[in-house]
Amino acid sequence: MIRKNRIFMKFAKRWLASVMLVVAFTLTAAGPVGCASRLEPGGAYALEGQAPDKAFYAVEASFDLATSVVHTAFEFERSNRLMLWRISPDIKHGLDKLRPVAKQVVKEYGVAREAYLANPTPAGLSTMKTVLGRLQQTASAAQAVLPKE
């Protein structure tokens, strides 16, 4: 059992290091997408006859990645629940605090997104960025709850 735990923790540490890097990139990604890249015409964010909306795509791509980080943390804990519970009940309890927050944030993002699609204004995009920031904080918090040693 001790050996199994050690092997598991080795894997978990590698996993965490990777997620940490993804989160760090997610936190800073909105800028580089907007500045360095261009959108191929015909895509969902560069519809024919309209100017490509790079800023919107940047927020969406960052949200997509942040959602994946949160989802992966939740799935990882759920799939390894008994093992992690034996290490510390605080891991599940910590993520349990974040689960309703993440759900709420995704719902709020949906509302903000719908509003932006109906009326694409800088203020609408700013609201989406604010919600994105909350999801990124949730992703960081989820990562902090998972074991490091």
The residue ranges that bind another protein (CB under 8 A) are 11-12, 14-15, 17-19, 21-22, 25, 29, 32-33, 36-46, 57, 60-61, 63-65, 67-69, 71-72, 74-82, 85, 89, 92-93, 96, 99-100, 102-103, 106-107, 109-110, 113
Q: How far is CA 112 from the centre of its chain?
A: 17
To another protein, the closest distance from the beta carbon of 9 in angstroms equals 10
Q: Which is nearer to another protein, 40 or 123 (CB)?
A: 40
Tell me how far apart the 2 most distant CA atoms of the chain are, in Å: 63
> How far apart, in Å, do the first and last CA atoms of the chain sit?
17
To another protein, the closest distance from the beta carbon of 73 in angstroms equals 9
To another protein, the closest distance from the beta carbon of 51 in angstroms equals 14
Who's near 143: CB < 8 A, 6+ residues apart?
16, 19, 20, 23, 69, 73
Tokens 């609408």 correspond to 124
